[in-house]
A = this chain, B = another copy of it.
Amino acid sequence: MLSKKTKYGLKALTFIARQEGDVPVQVGEIAKGEQIPQKFLESILLTLRKAGVLGSKKGKHGGYYLRNEPSEINMADVMRVLEGPIAMVPCVSLNFYEKCDDCVNEAQCSVHKLMIQVRDSNLNVFKNTTLADLSFSG
């Protein structure tokens, strides 16, 4: 199940991408427009900023903006920030590999075999989908 954090984060990114103006977009605006609890959204946007996806401007008339063009922001990066590793088990994670305690023989492990395929297939989707794909057109 997709976490609310990720769901809200994706919606917020889309919302920002669609505001084509030059001024940063405020949390309150996004929260209202997308029906997201404002304080929760604050922490999510903060995470995205710290990860380098968003930039921010503080103080009055402050807000958030994209650090790159929507077409340059791919979902693999975004999902890793919001949802964590793309792999469903650490033993098939490319970026966060960890051996299973219980698993004796990784090469023969059925979970390992299946999850490698899932990882590859998801990675393929995420890498090839950009924020622009999600934000514009039908």
Which residues of B have CB within 8 Å of A88?
1-2
Interface range, A side: 35 or more
- Indicate with 1 or 0, residue by residue over A82-110, a CB within 8 angstroms of chain B CB atoms: 00100011000000000000100001011
* Cβ-defined contact, B34 with A111, below 8 A: no
Please determine whether B89 and A7 come into contact, CB atoms closer than 8 angstroms: yes
Could you say which residues of chain B place their CB within 8 Å of the CB of A121?
A: 121-122, 124-125
A138/B107 contact (C-beta < 8 A), A121-B122, A125-B118, A129-B114 known: yes
Identify the A interface with B (CB < 8 A): 1-2, 7, 10-11, 13-14, 34-36, 75, 84, 88-89, 102, 107, 109-111, 113-115, 117-118, 121-122, 124-126, 129, 131, 133-135, 138
